[in-house]
Structure 1
């Protein structure tokens, strides 16, 4: 199941239409219902998706949540929608009340662009104050798409999602803390390192010096890690070039197939949005069919592996490392359009 192309298409629709959407109802129909459909639920089937689902709260009867998604006759996700122009921060208290009354494990608060998924990790049947999954439809990352896929009807497993939600929630909070400490180290954070490397008394002056040193040390460590990965990728490429130079007779064994050329033409059609056609060059090897920028081995754009029983498209990341993705046919290359275009930005 490939959700990424469908989510990308919906994101493009949102960007195109949002300025023409003025109400909460139009936000629901243009943005939210298509998202529910992408998750495999039939919005026209009242046994799967119930609009205006009644969520009685104590003495208040007839309270309604915008949508409830059902599985085996039980609500599994309740959804509260807002106009896309509204910020979500002021509305989770309403969803908090609905969550308690419906006995569901998942709640979604959305304005059709921002999505926040909640569960009850902190206390049973009491919605957490913070979402375990949060994303912007117009800026989706690959790992986020992977998490969204778990809510698809064909994958949905309450216990697995709840178990994973805990890791997601605390990982997000830890990353936030790390980012804050890198920008503005707290005294306790500075003491953690200064106390291990400085034998003298940690006076106010010493702490001031170490605050700057700790910040610089973390920045340099991150930079060194990035450079190490980049150098490793460059060394591998240099070794490969050397091996190819030492075995020139093997060039005659290379046979470029029509399928490889057709795949190249598809990739050119994708890349020409950002590049002039004459800058996109193919180079065939025994191991793979490479597509390069400016005919430069140090600027790989992607690779095709089509000569085995299982075909692959090789996507290149910012460190020039290749990740292979199985494809059914060369037409499947279109599903990786965003990743291929993103490679151009690395150069």
Structure 2
């Protein structure tokens, strides 16, 4: 069972377990420890997951954090647990106190259902007030699973996660900001777009005229993206039904197209939309990679996805069709290679 499926199965089990969990200790045993195990850590090895880790605070000795994940006998993640029915906000200060007394780079505050990851992006060695990453295990999304995968023991890298944490923190804040403006456009938001299309001075009256237009345009863009994904899903469902009539050969039966590959395909189409009719862009999955092709022609590859549960890579081609593979931290990193992907069109 891969990482994503393990999380999905665990999430289903959580709702069933909650009514039986009466104490904070039961929360740790039934929810937090299984979660750490899914991340690849041996919860029964104190050299890897140290329970009741001592984090002395000034003259106050013997202060303990619930768990510390260790690497080379040094803490890298401090974990503070609360009962699943407790809110997390009142307890931020407790983890905050522990953070600066150790070498740990990350703090995790959880009640077994909600998980909030913190680091020190604002001031070195001082835990930020806001988490850079948070999710609810009973409603975890694919993009959140991709971020959480970076904390898996098998791929954990302190430097890369620290860099990703900064991107994630600000991308989350931008998402909240842009989403708010899409629903209730501010004057500055409307003015920015209006100035791109309106040939004269943008007065208060013009702003009033363009505000509902801007809101309507963004709503239409979102609706179009949803419709395209539904169309892709329906097409896949139809293809699945057709394959059910004719049993697949053994090699085809081993091919599984993942949601990450479908999402990556949609990102490539959005990149190339301005350069070519999207109907000419095809996805053809194989056992070892997922190919994105021009005109469904194997001789015209645009890029290839090498996606596994613990690793995301993209293969790009130069004018001689020589392939180079690049690491991705998350699917949105595909946009970093927009120029190379578009150049593949020009090469053909």
TM-score by length of 2: 0.68
C-alpha distance in structure 2 between counterparts of 1:322 and 1:97, whole Å? 50
3-state SS in 2 of match to 1:150: helix
- Displacement after TM superposition at 1:206 (Å): 2.8
1:147-166 maps to which residues of 2 (within 5 A)?
A: 147-166=147-166
Please say which structure displays the higher CA radius of gyration: 1
3-state SS in 1 of match to 2:213: helix
Question: Which of 244, 249, 254 is the aligned partner of 1:282?
Answer: 244
1:188 aligns with 2:131: no
- Displacement after TM superposition at 1:156 (Å): 1.4
Structure 1 unaligned residues grouped into runs of 5+: 242-263, 265-278, 290-303, 328-334, 336-347
Sort the Cα spacing of 1:142 and 1:224 in 2 relative to 1 into closer, same or farther, 3 A: closer
C-alpha distance in structure 2 between counterparts of 1:225 and 1:4, whole Å? 25
Residue correspondences, number: 269
- Displacement after TM superposition at 1:225 (Å): 4.3
Match of residue 56 from structure 1: 56
Sort the Cα spacing of 1:28 and 1:160 in 2 relative to 1 into closer, same or farther, 3 A: same
Sort the Cα spacing of 1:82 and 1:73 in 2 relative to 1 into closer, same or farther, 3 A: same
1:100-179 maps to which residues of 2 (within 5 A)?
A: 100-179=100-179
C-alpha distance in structure 2 between counterparts of 1:39 and 1:322, whole Å? 31
C-alpha distance in structure 1 between counterparts of 2:169 and 2:40, whole Å? 25
1:2-81 maps to which residues of 2 (within 5 A)?
A: 2-81=2-81
C-alpha distance in structure 1 between counterparts of 2:23 and 2:242, whole Å? 45
C-alpha distance in structure 2 between counterparts of 1:198 and 1:15, whole Å? 53
1:198 aligns with 2:198: yes
3-state SS in 2 of match to 1:216: helix
RMSD between aligned residues: 3.2
Contact 2:74 2:103 in 1 (8 A): no
C-alpha distance in structure 2 between counterparts of 1:209 and 1:121, whole Å? 41
Sort the Cα spacing of 1:323 and 1:37 in 2 relative to 1 into closer, same or farther, 3 A: farther
User: Alpha-carbon deviations, 1:279-312, whole Å to 9, x = none?
Assistant: 998133xxxx5xxxxxxxxxxxxxx67336x931
TM-score by length of 1: 0.69
Match of residue 98 from structure 1: 98
Match of residue 255 from structure 2: 312
